[in-house]
């Protein structure tokens, strides 16, 4: 199911939790554009952006910082991503499953992007809200990473925990549930939202994998969508988000990662009505706002993460993107953080 819509199964159980927290689920749903029926019917199509806003509003209105994690408990990746899970189920190894999930995630939704980046000691599976999918991704990033990690754990040895789980946002005051779900190796204010995977887990075979079924599912999924790969702009966005903190992240770097020439990359982007510079600029604008709002990084640190030589350069870009200075934005965010609604009394 390509595009910005996702199945409402992702909202299963939300209404009951909200009532337990002393709030009315219908009121929160209406504020975020979620149809009330979507809270009880798992097969409706709803906006991925609205779902992200819904998760954030519930967490704020109900004062449940761990709402996304609570929603992930008992959630099954197959139920969330639908037919795409059939492809993952028939991957030969855990690494192939990660590659398939990242490569074909657009078949589930374009509201988020995923990238798999191999390293010498294993690999990183990145998740991020896509450009324009919402100002905040704290709750959804924790839900998504927890749900994906649950699927990976099913193929690992008993007691396996990842060598690292990373989030761009700041750590909550209470990490008890985070440690129970993710393990002890948590990193906040990080360069990305990602699961760090070691070579041993990546090489683990899928006991139920059937290569011929995988090939058939892959063909059917892409034939139904009328394309053979994710849109080039989504591939580029995902790679920029993964590579940006580690260097210049130039068009040459991204084209090399895609296995094509820089000229071919530019031609494909032109055909899609995009340019490398505009996508990179949009990613920087999106990440700058999220870092300032949800991480504990200062302007100098944010500038470095986004590939700027100094905070002055970031400030000029930030004013162009958002019509205000970095300092003014920080003051406004601190003022808003002090205004938290109280849950209604039951």
Q: 181 and 73, same structural domain?
A: yes
Any domain includes 154? yes
Q: What is the pLDDT of residue 59?
A: 97
What are the pLDDT digits (tens) for 125-152?
999 999 888 778 999 999 999 999 999 9
What are the pLDDT digits (tens) for 8-27?
999 999 999 999 999 999 99
**Residue that terminates a domain, selected from 155, 187, 202:** 202
Q: Which DSSP symbol is given to 47?
A: E
Q: 172 and 253, same structural domain?
A: no
Mean local confidence (pLDDT), 113-122: 95
Rounded Cα gap, residues 78 and 317, in angstroms: 41
Q: Going by C-beta distance under 8 Å and a sequence separation of 6 or more, which residues neighbour residue 81? A: 108
Confirm if 65 and 59 have CB atoms less than 8 A apart.
yes
Any domain includes 20? no
Residue scoring higher pLDDT (55 or 243): 55
What is the per-residue DSSP string for 244-257?
A: GGGS---HHHHHHH
Q: 342 and 292, same structural domain?
A: yes
Q: Which domain holds residue 84?
A: 65-202
Model-wide pTM > 0.85: yes
Share of the chain above pLDDT 70, in %: 90
**Residue that terminates a domain, selected from 164, 183, 202:** 202
Any domain includes 29? no
Q: 337 and 248, same structural domain?
A: yes
Q: What is the pLDDT of residue 339?
A: 47
Q: 276 and 164, same structural domain?
A: no
Any domain includes 283? yes
Instruction: Provide the pLDDT confidence category of residue 341 given band limits of 50, 70 and 90.
Output: very low
On the question of pLDDT at 224 being above 60, the answer is no
Tell the burial category of 277 from Cβ atoms under 10 Å away from its Cβ (0-12, 13-18, 19+). exposed
CATH number of domain containing 329: 1.10.10.60
Q: 340 and 275, same structural domain?
A: yes
Any domain includes 44? no
Instruction: Provide the pLDDT confidence category of residue 337 given band limits of 50, 70 and 90.
Output: low
Q: 243 and 186, same structural domain?
A: no
Q: 242 and 341, same structural domain?
A: yes
On the question of pLDDT at 346 being above 70, the answer is no
Q: 159 and 250, same structural domain?
A: no
Number of domains in the chain: 2
**Residue that terminates a domain, selected from 182, 202, 222:** 202
Q: 311 and 245, same structural domain?
A: yes
Q: 79 and 194, same structural domain?
A: yes
Q: 323 and 235, same structural domain?
A: yes
Any domain includes 188? yes
């Amino acid at each position: 199911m390509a595009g910005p819509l996702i199945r409402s199964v992702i909202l299963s159980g939300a209404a009951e939790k909200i009532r337990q927290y002393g709030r009315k689920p219908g009121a929160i749903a209406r504020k975020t554009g979620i149809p009330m029926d979507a809270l009880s019917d798992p097969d409706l199509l709803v906006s991925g952006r609205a779902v992200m806003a819904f998760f954030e509003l519930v967490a704020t209105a109900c004062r449940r910082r761990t709402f996304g994690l609570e929603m992930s408990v008992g959630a099954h990746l197959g139920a969330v991503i639908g037919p795409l899970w059939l492809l993952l189920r028939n991957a030969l190894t855990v690494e192939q499953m990660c590659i398939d999930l990242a490569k074909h995630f657009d078949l589930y939704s374009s509201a988020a992007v995923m990238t798999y980046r191999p390293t010498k000691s294993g690999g990183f599976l990145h998740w991020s809200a896509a450009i324009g999918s919402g100002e905040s991704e704290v709750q959804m990033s924790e839900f998504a990473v927890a749900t994906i990690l649950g699927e990976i754990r099913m193929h690992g040895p008993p007691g396996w925990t990842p060598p690292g789980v990373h989030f761009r946002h700041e750590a909550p005051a209470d990490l008890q549930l985070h440690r129970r779900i993710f393990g002890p190796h948590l990193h906040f204010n990080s360069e990305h939202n990602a699961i760090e995977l070691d070579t041993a887990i990546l090489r683990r075979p899928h006991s139920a994998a059937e290569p011929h079924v995988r090939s058939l599912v892959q063909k059917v999924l892409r034939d139904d969508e009328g394309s053979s790969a994710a849109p080039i702009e989504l591939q580029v966005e995902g790679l920029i988000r993964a590579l940006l903190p580690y260097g210049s992240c130039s068009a040459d770097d991204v084209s090399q990662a895609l296995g094509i020439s820089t000229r071919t990359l530019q031609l494909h982007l032109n055909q899609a009505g995009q340019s490398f510079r505009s996508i990179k600029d949009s990613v920087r604008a999106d990440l700058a706002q999220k870092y300032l709002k949800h991480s504990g990084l200062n302007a100098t640190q944010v500038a470095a993460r986004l590939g700027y030589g100094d905070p002055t350069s970031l400030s000029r870009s930030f004013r162009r993107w958002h019509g205000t200075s970095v300092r003014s934005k920080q003051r406004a965010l601190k003022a808003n953080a002090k205004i938290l609604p109280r849950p209604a009394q039951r």
